[in-house]
Structure 1
Amino acid sequence: MRRRAAQLFLVSICIAASGCAAPSPWVAPFEREALADPLMSFSRNALMDKHRQHVFDVREGGRGATDGGGGGCGCN
Structure 2
Amino acid sequence: MKKMMQSLAVMLGAMALAGCTTVKPWERAMLADYTMRPDRDPLGNLLAEHMWFSREAASGGRSVGGGGCGCN
Same fold at TM > 0.5: no
Length-normalised TM-score, structure 1: 0.39
Length-normalised TM-score, structure 2: 0.40
Max Rg structure:
1
